């Protein structure tokens, strides 16, 4: 980045020299990453490298302490914002809401979660004036529209949240929530366990449907296979709390061929010098 014409140069989402710890253990050791509108970034790396930690820190999980560095969204420091504010301003984290709420239907849960955020956004946009709040009827219309876009069955909305949900259905719920919130920057942590082919397809179809020229995405995944369905513009490899290599989709293919060990050897060489 160069020049003093900041407005032109300001990235949409920028992580700079981020250090974070949990229970006094430093996990993130200087992460740098820029995501702009319309870009899909994949963050890969071996288990325990700090990928999920990064997602939690972006979400504002209070268990993690940021000791150095910054995360900026459109030039503003998001570390000053509560998790709610982050959602309101257009960040989406797949796991920012509780995952098990007995006796609450999918539709009711989404109505509460989504109308809160959207109403707060409307109030902000109205700048203290009369904000147009979303009515239950408008919400139902919006939900039908998004479910059609994502080719989801209407019956899904009446299911109880996470009660007997398969891996694929949990992912479907997350993707629907994301569609309803219309984020500008989405972070999806593809947990490494229990991802069947159904869940993989839900995530990839959702991401492909919801990505667009205004939206930035960060897909966190341990496995290369998700990238058989989604073509990222950039691939980053995280090891030991840092991004050690960035490139295009070819980096993911190299990873598939050589595994993390091949990259680890290269990383060890470069960090020893
Ligand atoms: N409460 C904790 N105290 C100390 N270390 C932790 C704690 N929670 C997680 N870690 C460590 O943080 C590291 C990064 O974990 P994580 O971000 O989940 O990695 P990834 O998502 O890449 O598999 C791991 O080595 C893990 O053992
Ligand atoms: Mg993880």
pTM: 0.89
pLDDT score for 8: 62
DSSP codes, 48-82? TSSHHHHHHHHHT-TTEEEEEEEEEETTEEGGGS-
Which domains does the chain show, CATH number per domain?
Answer: 6-272 (3.40.50.300)
Q: How far away, in angstroms, is 51 Cα from ligand 2 center?
A: 5
pLDDT score for 3: 44
Residue 45 alpha carbon, nearest atom of ligand 1? 22
Residue 47 alpha carbon, nearest atom of ligand 1? 23
As averages over each run of 10 residues, the pLDDT of the chain (273 residues) reads 56 98 98 97 94 93 96 96 90 64 78 85 78 85 90 83 75 86 90 67 85 94 83 95 95 86 77 61
Which ligand lies nearest the alpha carbon of 50? Answer: 1
pLDDT score for 100: 56
Confirm if 66 and 20 have CB atoms less than 8 A apart: yes
In terms of C-beta density within 10 A (0-12 exposed, 13-18 middle, 19 or more buried), how is residue 34 classed? middle
CB of 49 within 6 A of ligand 1: the answer is: yes
DSSP codes, 125-187? HHTTS---PPPHHHHHHHHHHHHHHTT--GGGGGSBTTTT--HHHHHHHHHHHHHHH--SEEE
pLDDT score for 102: 66
Nearest CA to ligand 1 atom 16: 50
Confirm if 258 and 90 have CB atoms less than 8 A apart: no
Q: What is the CA radius of gyration of the chain?
A: 19
Residue 189 alpha carbon, nearest atom of ligand 1? 21
CB of 50 within 6 A of ligand 1: the answer is: yes
Residue with tokens 């190299």: 254
Residue with tokens 């949240």: 161
CB of 221 within 6 A of ligand 1: the answer is: no
**What are the backbone dihedrals phi and psi of residue 35, each rounded to the nearest 5 degrees, phi first?**
-125, 125
């Amino acid at each position: 980045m160069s020049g003093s014409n900041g407005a032109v140069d300001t990235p949409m989402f920028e992580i700079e020299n981020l250090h974070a710890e949990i229970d006094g253990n430093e996990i993130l050791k200087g992460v740098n990453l820029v995501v702009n509108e319309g870009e899909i970034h994949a963050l890969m790396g071996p288990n325990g490298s700090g990928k999920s930690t990064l997602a939690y820190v972006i979400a504002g999980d209070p268990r993690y302490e940021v000791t150095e560095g910054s995360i900026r969204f459109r030039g503003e420091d998001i570390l000053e914002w509560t998790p709610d504010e982050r959602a309101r301003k257009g960040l989406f984290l797949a796991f920012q809401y509780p995952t098990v709420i007995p006796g609450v239907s999918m539709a009711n849960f989404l109505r509460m979660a989504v109308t809160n955020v959207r109403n707060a956004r409307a109030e902000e946009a109205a700048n203290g004036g009369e904000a147009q709040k979303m009515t239950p009827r408008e919400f139902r219309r919006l939900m039908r529209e998004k479910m059609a876009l994502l080719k989801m069955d209407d019956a899904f909305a009446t299911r109880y949240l996470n009660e007997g949900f398969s891996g694929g259905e949990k992912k479907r719920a997350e993707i629907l929530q994301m569609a309803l919130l219309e984020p500008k920057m989405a972070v999806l942590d593809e947990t490494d366990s229990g991802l069947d082919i159904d869940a993989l397809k839900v995530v990839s179809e959702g991401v492909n449907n919801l990505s667009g020229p205004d939206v930035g995405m960060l897909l966190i995944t341990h496995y290369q296979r998700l990238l058989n369905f989604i073509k990222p513009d950039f691939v980053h490899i995280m090891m030991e709390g840092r991004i050690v290599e960035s490139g295009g989709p070819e980096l993911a293919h190299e990873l598939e061929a050589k595994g993390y060990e091949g990259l680890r050897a290269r990383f060890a060489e470069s960090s020893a010098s």
